[in-house]
């Protein structure tokens, strides 16, 4: 088990990195969203409606990571540029420091990570307001996010599966894996991740939905020292039973030098995809250098010769395949007979360190006065994991 001192040092380094994300909200193209509901999670909201908005257009909900804001994430990932190219609307929920000092969505909090409560309900209210005001297609609403935003994407997909046609989780976590502060510490550092069957049950119990489940796109770097790469497999294992796919992927290919696996449902439609970004750390994968490049590299916005923004849009049917070069297909063994039963596998992968970025301050007097418990509580408060 990793020592608490090691985790403290890691989070201190993350906070220093997060203060230099290099993007100014002043240059954002987003407009504020107001009067969208009771807003129990006390979130801010921003929208981008392109001049090219198509009739009955789609809506993409974008959730930033810790230490970021809506404008900086848009500049980094290039979402408003994609909206201009393909005529869909954007909604950017945004965390406030009064809720979390490091601007992390509270994905682990029982008051915020369930249906009809807290931050999850605030985001749902924003979706309803924007869809109605701009006459968008309610059947084409999608959600994506990075890091804590990726974990909150998992929350939205599980809690409101009837609202979203698809989601994309970047360097995130499976739904429901933590509901207390100690669990959040353990899951982020790679300890005690629920089994695949438990993860499936958590997602299934998040609503009483019985329809077609949202498609899921999963992105993770193999060198991610903030959120362990093993989370990608945990998310796959959570969603495979919901879509009744078989265990082995139905397609394996290489795109931009990175592996992509895909699973299909009984009709042959791709419902889960996973991109393994070789050698990438914690962040959103970008291709800023090609002719059709998107976004701006910076802290947690990482040049990787592959545009997650563009390929996610392609997976959702919002962009054309011609927007990106052809993939190199890697031969794979013939698939075993398809079994659509709810088979559950144990997850043996190492899981992540902590999500929220922050630094810890302590001294000998604090240690003597409050002991180890106080040290941990102070650490959690400084990272935004405890209020």
Question: pLDDT tens across 85-135, in order?
Answer: 999 999 999 999 999 999 999 999 999 999 999 999 999 999 999 999 999
Per-residue pLDDT at 379 exceeds 80: no
Domain boundaries, the chain: 4-362
More confident residue, 339 or 254: 254
Q: Model-level pTM?
A: 0.81
Among the listed residues 80, 109, 147, 382, the single catalytic one is: 147
Q: Which CATH number fits domain 4-362: 2.130.10.30, 3.90.1280.10, 3.30.460.80, 3.40.50.1820?
A: 3.40.50.1820
- Looking at residue 387, what is its pLDDT? 54
Q: What CA–CA distance (Å, rounded) separates 91 from 53?
A: 14
Instruction: Please report the sign of the dihedral spanned by the C-alpha atoms of residue 110, residue 112, residue 114, residue 117.
Output: positive
Per-residue pLDDT at 17 exceeds 50: no
- Looking at residue 351, what is its pLDDT? 31
Kindly state the helix (H) or strand (E) to which residue 98 belongs, with its residue range.
none
Please choose, from the candidates 379, 387, 385, the residue with its C-alpha nearest in 3D space to the C-alpha of residue 359.
379
Say how many CA atoms lie within 13 Å of 331 toward its Cβ. Answer: 2
Residue 109 annotated to the active site: no
- Looking at residue 323, what is its pLDDT? 56
Q: What CA–CA distance (Å, rounded) separates 364 from 61?
A: 46
Q: How far is CA 245 from the centre of its chain?
A: 22
- Looking at residue 322, what is its pLDDT? 60
Average pLDDT over residues 210-224: 97
Per-residue pLDDT at 279 exceeds 80: yes
| Token couple for 232 | 């990608």
CB atoms within 10 A of CB 102: 24
More confident residue, 350 or 57: 57
Per-residue pLDDT at 309 exceeds 70: yes
For residue range 338-354, list pLDDT tens digits in order: 333 333 322 223 333 32
Per-residue pLDDT at 250 exceeds 90: yes
Average pLDDT over residues 279-286: 97
Per-residue pLDDT at 357 exceeds 70: no
- Looking at residue 293, what is its pLDDT? 86
More confident residue, 33 or 374: 33
Please choose, from the candidates 143, 119, 300, the residue with its C-alpha nearest in 3D space to the C-alpha of residue 215.
143
Residue with tokens 């979203």: 164
């Amino acid at each position: 088990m990793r020592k608490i001192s090691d985790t403290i040092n890691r989070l201190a380094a993350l906070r220093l990195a997060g203060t230099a994300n290099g993007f100014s909200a002043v240059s954002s193209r987003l407009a504020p969203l107001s009067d969208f509901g009771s807003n129990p999670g006390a979130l801010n909201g921003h929208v981008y409606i392109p001049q090219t908005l198509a009739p009955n257009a789609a809506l993409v909900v974008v959730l930033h990571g810790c230490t970021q804001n809506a404008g900086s994430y848009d500049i980094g990932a290039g979402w408003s540029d994609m909206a201009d190219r393909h005529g869909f609307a954007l909604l950017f929920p945004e965390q406030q420091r009064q809720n979390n000092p490091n601007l992390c969505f509270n994905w682990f909090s029982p008051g915020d990570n369930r249906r009809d409560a807290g931050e999850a309900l605030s985001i749902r209210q924003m979706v309803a307001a924007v869809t109605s005001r701009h006459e968008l297609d309610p059947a084409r609403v999608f959600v994506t996010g990075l890091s804590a935003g990726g974990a909150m994407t998992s929350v939205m997909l599980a809690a409101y599966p009837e609202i979203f046609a698809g989601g994309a989780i970047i360097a995130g976590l499976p739904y429901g894996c933590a509901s207390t502060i100690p669990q959040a510490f353990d899951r982020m550092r790679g300890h005690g991740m629920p089994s695949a069957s438990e993860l499936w049950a958590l997602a299934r119990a998040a609503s009483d939905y019985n329809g077609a489940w949202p498609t899921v796109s999963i992105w993770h770097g193999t060198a991610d020292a903030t959120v362990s790469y093993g989370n990608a497999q945990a998310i796959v294992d959570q969603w495979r039973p919901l879509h009744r796919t078989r265990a082995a992927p139905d397609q394996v290919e290489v795109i931009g030098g990175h592996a992509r696996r895909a699973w299909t449902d009984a009709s042959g439609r791709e419902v889960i995809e996973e991109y393994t970004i070789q050698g990438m750390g914690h962040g959103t994968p970008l291709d800023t250098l090609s002719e059709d490049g998107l976004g701006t590299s910076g802290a947690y916005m990482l040049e990787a010769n592959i545009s997650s923004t563009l390929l996610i849009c392609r997976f959702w049917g919002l962009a054309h395949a011609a927007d990106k070069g052809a993939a190199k297909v890697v031969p794979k063994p013939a698939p075993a007979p398809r079994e659509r039963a709810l088979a559950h596998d144990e997850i043996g992968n190492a899981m992540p360190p902590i999500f929220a970025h922050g630094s810890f301050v302590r001294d000998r007097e604090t240690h003597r006065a409050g002991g180890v418990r106080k040290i941990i509580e102070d650490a959690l408060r400084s990272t935004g994991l405890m209020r």
